[in-house]
Structure 1
Amino acid sequence: MSRSLRVDRKFIKTVKLALKRHGFPNQEAFAKKIEMARSTVVNFLNGKPVDFANFVQICDKLGLDWKDIATELSDEPYQPDSGDSSFYVDRPPTESNCYQAIVKSGALLRIKAPQQMGKTWLMRRVLSYAEKQGYETVTLSFELADNTVFTDLEKFSQWFCAAVGQELGLPNQLNSSWADILACNYNTTNYFQTYLLANRASPLVLALDNVDIVFEYREIAIDFCRLLRNWHDQANRGDRYSDIWQKLRLVIVHATEVYGGLDINSSPLAGVGVVVDLPEFNSEQVKDLAKRCELTCNNSHIEKLMSLVGGHPYLVQLAIERMKLQGVTLDRILETAHTEAGIYSNHLREHLGNLEKYPELGKAFREVVVMDNPVELNPVQAFKLHSMGLVNLAGNQVTPRCKLYRNYFRERLGKK
């Protein structure tokens, strides 16, 4: 792999939004905070080459997975089967199940998991497979929508139609196609049916990433999810429009942390399509990843690392990257892991911030981490903590997801 990486063009806006989201007023303030040359930060934010180690460090500080946004130094766009695919670890039968689902007419595939479990990475694998079948693919991330887009359903619907059309290279026809007297979902469906999907020779796979952002706007989320459900259903109705909708295959990707603030009895996409829950790595997969990164790890090293973080893909990968690229010893990682000086500090602070948004969940999670034995929680709280990626469930028994979480949150929540 190249010694340098750059941000893929389609993720430039994503990284700039991440900078603002983390409270940095400008590039200079961020560069000073992470003790890095301003020129390096500027290059990163503008899609110019950055040293591999610096690229990984910046992504870590911004809460981004470097593999999701990176591209090699070539003119070709990033593809999961080239370059960085050497770092992708298969989690059978997850991939094969996705491949089988996406080739079915009118497919709807929903990839869901907590942050940093590899959802976007898997999405790209599915799109790569679809392209090999001769399908056209389009990816649309809702991180690209400004906040104003989510203030009004009509504005959101028109942005969605225009953005997909733009990705397909089709001119905007909304002015002549949108009828104010009709509902937004009707207009959106008509726009796809009579224009974006009309006369297609091959199926279109539309991948919608970061859909959890939509979930945060309840009124829009309800109508948008009804729209997607309806499209999926139309493909199976056997009416005069079914042939058109059978050509559309949907891949919906969303994090589950947002469930912390949702009514779980009215999940926006419950019961629709093929649901993919990403599992953790097992020990053989961790060994495989270390080998791909050309890091020598014996069974004892793997056992020590997994005793701390389990098989959490991001936590495992971050440790391997730091050992390989920066020469950090495993003992040092284990010793400082739960502290602000540890490599996981940003990840842990994000979880702490989420718990602070929902005090009742923070109180419930405190019960879990201060006890050495499994505890029984209110089923709703247990479900939400599990969706946030913080706990494991075994029947009605709840335990911290890993030792790292127990150590960090026992120290921070245990005194409250």
Structure 2
Amino acid sequence: MTIDELTDLLKASLPGSLTPLQEMVLRYSWEGKTYADMAAETNYVKEYLSRTASELWSSLSKFWGKPVSKNNLRFYFESRQLTNSQQQLIEAFRRQSTTSSLEFPSGPVALNSKFYIERPPIESLAYEEVTKPGSITRIRAPWKMGKTSLMLRILAHAEAQKYQTVTIDFQQAGKILFSDIDKFFRWFATYISRKLQLEPNLDEYWDEDMGSKVSCSIYFESYILDSIKSCLVLGLNEVNRVFEYPEVAEEFFSLLRSWYEQASTTKIWQNLRLVLTYSTEIYIPLQIHQSPFNVGLPLKLPSLTPEQVMILSQRYGLEWANSQNKQLMGMVGGHPYLVQLAFYYMCQRELMLKQLLQEAPTESGIYNDHLRRLLAILQSEPALENAYKQVLASEHPLKLISLLAYKLDSLGLIYMNGDFVTHSCELYRLYFKNQLLEKG
């Protein structure tokens, strides 16, 4: 059995169920981590974890009638097959717990949500990178693919290491902030100061003769990093918004690159770690030595695999067959949001898979709001709309102007393979063929 099956079986069977801390110890132990490892990755003291584990092993031993310990946990259970009664018990438990905890898929997946699906080795690489002095982690994926959900987990891991964290979502920044380079840098410095509960003290460090970029660096080094006396992780979400303003982008991204390089020679800059998310390749001209997008750890979020979609269906408590998995993925691929939305409605017993798939590319389907948003974006940019029409009309992969290809990729509408592109999933092909080609 898997660790998910074991934890659900225990929750459904044990009178007192499992506490969140016991479940954490159970999962860490399954991975072979020591109590020292667990303590290093959480806010718990090693001795407290050991006591919790001792109670857990005692309960498990009584329940199974055989001695269970940290050392034999995985060896004992991984080779065991669930009985029919145990499978039924787990399915009933999952249906009940899913119905009571179900949330409509919209924003990032919450840290305590069981509906977050890891895509190994991405998470482990990111957790390791954020602990490295002066590091940059770059997360790229199209819209609604889980970039922010991953960033939340990286920042939570950083906080467990006693680091301070600040998140900036550039989608929430008003246009006026990008109208002037000095205004942008002052806003950036002020925002981070306030999030760290530091009184903004820009006037003491800002010098017009030196310029905004140098002033911002001095402010960070001499005020922010010096004041907090700990590592600081900046989560910069959707930085592709800055790409739309080339003058600001050139100065801002070269500043981030300079901070990264200063970490190799100046100790205080080693305390700063950056996590960047963006939806597309960089299509603004940046000198190689001035770009933060060719250094650090690059992470490109892939679609969910059939196995991962199957795991997600189990967490939703669905009785899900391989044939159903193939049908759903044939329509939406492994797009996390589109898959989650389907499982949500099926779990609510509002739709059966057959009806969901029939209605999916129509105005009456569950994806109508998502599709209309994409349609509005396309229709607001005629060149982008015409480029996508070419993709829809072509029976073979084709080349597009790089800028247009990058923008379509950022929306998740195409799949890029080298210089060639195709539509990314059947849902988009059917809907937009009807909206842009047949109606046009």
* TM-score exceeds 0.5: yes
- Residue aligning to 1:254: 278
Is the alpha carbon distance of 1:206 and 1:223 closer, same or farther for their aligned partners in structure 2, counting shifts above 3 Å? same
Q: Of the two, which has the highest radius of gyration? A: 2
Per-residue CA distance 1:211-260 (angstroms, 9 max, x = gap):
22222222111111111111111112x2xxx1010000011122239x6x
Deviates more, 1:220-229 or 1:385-394: 385-394
Is the alpha carbon distance of 1:345 and 1:141 closer, same or farther for their aligned partners in structure 2, counting shifts above 3 Å? same
- Residue aligning to 2:223: 195
Structure 1 Cα separation of the partners of residues 168 and 222 of structure 2: 20
- Residue aligning to 1:374: 396
Equivalent residue in structure 2 for 1:245, among 262, 269, 278: 269
Partner amino acid, structure 2, of 1:213: R
Compute the TM-score of the two structures, normalised by the length of structure 2.
0.71
Indicate if the aligned counterparts of 2:400 and 2:421 stay in contact, CA closer than 8 A. no
Deviates more, 1:119-128 or 1:360-369: 360-369
Structure 2 Cα separation of the partners of residues 274 and 409 of structure 1: 35
1:66 aligns with 2:103: no
- Residue aligning to 2:173: 145
Structure 2 Cα separation of the partners of residues 245 and 66 of structure 1: 33
Report SS of the residue matched to 2:293.
coil
- Residue aligning to 2:412: 389
Is the alpha carbon distance of 1:166 and 1:326 closer, same or farther for their aligned partners in structure 2, counting shifts above 3 Å? farther
Partner amino acid, structure 2, of 1:252: L
Deviation at 1:131, TM superposition (A): 1.9
Deviation at 1:397, TM superposition (A): 4.1
Structure 2 Cα separation of the partners of residues 384 and 162 of structure 1: 31
Structure 2 Cα separation of the partners of residues 213 and 367 of structure 1: 26
Q: Which runs of 5+ in 2 are unaligned?
A: 1-99
Indicate if the aligned counterparts of 1:339 and 1:345 stay in contact, CA closer than 8 A. yes
Aligned residues: 337
- Residue aligning to 1:340: 363
Q: Which runs of 5+ in 1 are unaligned?
A: 1-50, 71-79
Deviation at 1:349, TM superposition (A): 1.9
Structure 1 Cα separation of the partners of residues 406 and 181 of structure 2: 30
Deviates more, 1:134-143 or 1:312-321: 134-143
Indicate if the aligned counterparts of 2:250 and 2:286 stay in contact, CA closer than 8 A. no
Is the alpha carbon distance of 1:266 and 1:333 closer, same or farther for their aligned partners in structure 2, counting shifts above 3 Å? farther
Report SS of the residue matched to 1:134.
coil
Deviation at 1:200, TM superposition (A): 4.5
Report SS of the residue matched to 1:327.
coil
- Give the RMSD, CA atoms, in angstroms: 2.4
Structure 2 Cα separation of the partners of residues 278 and 392 of structure 1: 13
- Residue aligning to 1:109: 137
Aligned pairs for 1:256-271 (under 5 A) are 256=280, 262-263=283-284, 269-271=292-294
Structure 2 Cα separation of the partners of residues 226 and 180 of structure 1: 19
1:329 aligns with 2:363: no
Indicate if the aligned counterparts of 1:193 and 1:245 stay in contact, CA closer than 8 A. yes
1:315 aligns with 2:338: yes
1:281 aligns with 2:304: yes
Partner amino acid, structure 2, of 1:375: P
- Residue aligning to 2:74: none
Deviation at 1:384, TM superposition (A): 4.2
Deviation at 1:102, TM superposition (A): 1.1
Structure 1 Cα separation of the partners of residues 385 and 149 of structure 2: 30
Equivalent residue in structure 2 for 1:178, among 206, 215, 218: 206
Structure 2 Cα separation of the partners of residues 145 and 211 of structure 1: 11
Partner amino acid, structure 1, of 2:267: D
Indicate if the aligned counterparts of 1:374 and 1:397 stay in contact, CA closer than 8 A. no
- Residue aligning to 2:437: 414
- Residue aligning to 1:296: 319
Indicate if the aligned counterparts of 1:106 and 1:248 stay in contact, CA closer than 8 A. yes
Partner amino acid, structure 1, of 2:271: K
Compute the TM-score of the two structures, normalised by the length of structure 1.
0.75
- Residue aligning to 2:241: 213
Deviation at 1:205, TM superposition (A): 0.9
- Residue aligning to 1:87: 115
- Residue aligning to 1:11: none
Indicate if the aligned counterparts of 1:367 and 1:375 stay in contact, CA closer than 8 A. no
Partner amino acid, structure 1, of 2:161: Q
Deviation at 1:187, TM superposition (A): 0.8
Report SS of the residue matched to 1:375.
coil
